[in-house]
Amino acid sequence: MNIPVYLDNQATTRVDGRVIEAMIPLMDEVYGNASSTQHEFGWRAEAAVAQARRRVAGLIGALPEEIVFTGGATESVNIALKGVARGHRAGGRRIITAGTEHHAVLDTCRRLEREGFEVIRVPVDRYGMVDPEDVRRAMTPGTILVSIMAANNEIGTLAPVEALGALCREHGVLFHTDATQAAGKVPIDMHAMHIDLLSFSAHKMYGPKGVGALAIRGGPPAIRVIPLFDGGGHERGIRSGTLNVPGIAGFGVAAEIAADVMSEESSRLSGLRDRLVEGVSEALEGVRVNGHPTLRLPHNANLLFPGANADAVMMAMKDIALSAGSACSSASPEPSHVLRAIGLTREETLCSLRFGLGRFTTEEEIAYTIGRVNETVRTIASKTGTKSGPKSGPNAEMSRTNAQSVH
What residues are annotated to the active site?
Answer: 328
Q: How many CB atoms lie within 10 A of CB 73?
A: 25
- Which amino acid, 363? E
Q: What sign has the CA pseudo-torsion 216, 218, 220, 223?
A: positive
Residue 205 three-state SS: coil
Asked whether the beta carbons of 7 and 318 are under 8 A apart, the reply is: no
* Residue 39 buriedness (CB in 10 A; 0-12 / 13-18 / 19+): exposed
Phi, psi of 201 (to 5 degrees): -140, 155
Phi, psi of 15 (to 5 degrees): -70, 130
Q: How many CB atoms lie within 10 A of CB 345?
A: 11
Q: How many CB atoms lie within 10 A of CB 346?
A: 12
DSSP assignment string, 23-81:
HTHHHHT----TT-TTSHHHHHHHHHHHHHHHHHHHHHT--GGGEEEES-HHHHHHHHH
Asked whether the beta carbons of 378 and 388 are under 8 A apart, the reply is: yes
Could you say which DSSP state residue 386 is in? Answer: -
Phi, psi of 300 (to 5 degrees): -110, 140
Q: Quick one: which H or E segment has residue 251?
A: helix 245-281
